[in-house]
Amino acid sequence: MFFLSSKILSFLIDPLFWVVILFFLSIILRIKLIKKRFFILGFIILLFFSNTFIYNLVNDLWLVKFEKPKKNHDYGIILGGMIDLESEDDNIIFSNTNDRLLNTIELFSKGFIKKILITGASGSLTSKMKEAEILKNYLVGTGIPDSCVLTENKSNNTYENAMFSEGILNNIHPKSKLSCLIITSDFHMRRTMACFKKTKLNVYPFTKKSKFKHFDLEKIILPQSKILFKWKILFHEIFGYMSYKIFGYL
């Protein structure tokens, strides 16, 4: 039920969804004053949520503070959500969050992590794709030893990522309090760390993105369509964090 509710909420918090609704109402309603108000409100929302400068200011308040990782963590735990639901072993379609995977490869090659645990199934209501298994095959194909890559392919949300990952590592190392580097996208790190801190693992965030410092006049003035999607992701994380608080997951 919680999983289904989160998917419905993700749809409802999309700013573009409300822009479309308001514009649609401004067309079908007959009362001119109300039509005009709905149109103006929709236009204001569209301008606000397509402004890069405003988004960056709000997003920076949400991001976890940058921390330089230390070497020799026992595991790097990488969260799924990087590939399209249509992906297969021989045809992986990466999303724009594949920085998680690239960062993992770099961290392993430089000795920051000894082993890798990939956690996540598909995160979809309908797909039976096992993302962790697909990504393991990809990592092994890059030259990382098979023995160094573990998978957890039952979790469908961040809370389950943390709980199931802890279960797997506790079974392998029952008497050790492992040092784990948590690898995910910057916008997802706050909720992820809060979930993993409920476990008995020693967890540390890996983030690369620094605070917003660059001011581009074009981005301040002109609307950017891609920013609408970024707001949806940010709202999903904020409401997800609040929901986890309510349900006692954090």
pLDDT in tens, 107-138: 999 999 999 999 987 655 445 668 888 899 99
pLDDT given at position 71: 83
Of residues 229, 187, 177, the one with CA closest to residue 209: 187
Residue 237 has pLDDT above 60, yes or no: yes
Give the mean pLDDT of the chain.
86
| Confidence band of 208 (pLDDT split at 50, 70, 90) | confident
Residue type at position 37: R
- Max mean pLDDT range (3-7, 10-14, 180-184): 180-184
DSSP at 98: T
Contact 140, 129 (CB under 8 A): no
Mean pLDDT of 200-222: 75
What pLDDT score does 125 carry? 45
- The boundaries of every CATH 3.40.50.620 domain in the chain are 73-206
Residue 130 amino acid letter: K
Q: Which residue has the higher pLDDT, 164 or 220?
A: 164
Distance, in Å, from the CA atom of 233 to the CA atom of 239, rounded to the nearest integer, reads 10
* Distance from C-alpha of 15 to C-alpha of 39, rounded to nearest angstrom: 15
Residue 142 burial (CB < 10 Å; 0-12/13-18/19+)?
exposed
Instruction: List CB contacts of 194: < 8 A, sequence separation 6 or more.
Output: 241, 244, 250
Return the structure tokens found at 185: 């996208």
Between 5 and 46, whose confidence is greater? 46
Give SS3 for 244.
helix
pLDDT digits (tens, 9 = 90+) for 63-102: 987 777 888 899 999 998 888 777 776 778 888 888 889 9
- Residues found in the chain: 250
| Percentage of the chain modeled with pLDDT above 70 | 87
Q: Give the separation between CA 101 and CA 103, rounded to whole angstroms.
A: 5
- The pLDDT, as a whole number, for residue 81 is 84
Q: How far is Cα 211 from Cα 189, in angstroms, rounded to an integer?
A: 14
In whole angstroms, give the CA distance from residue 155 to residue 89: 20
Q: Does the pLDDT value for residue 59 go beyond 50?
A: yes
What is the C-alpha separation between 200 and 71, in angstroms, rounded? Answer: 20
pTM of the model: 0.83
Domain 73-206 in CATH 3.40.50.620? The answer is: yes
pLDDT digits (tens, 9 = 90+) for 7-33: 666 677 889 899 999 999 999 988 888
Q: In the predicted model, is pLDDT for residue 151 greater than 60?
A: yes
In our burial notation (b when 16+ CB lie closer than 10 A, e otherwise), range 97-111 reads bebbbebbbebbeee
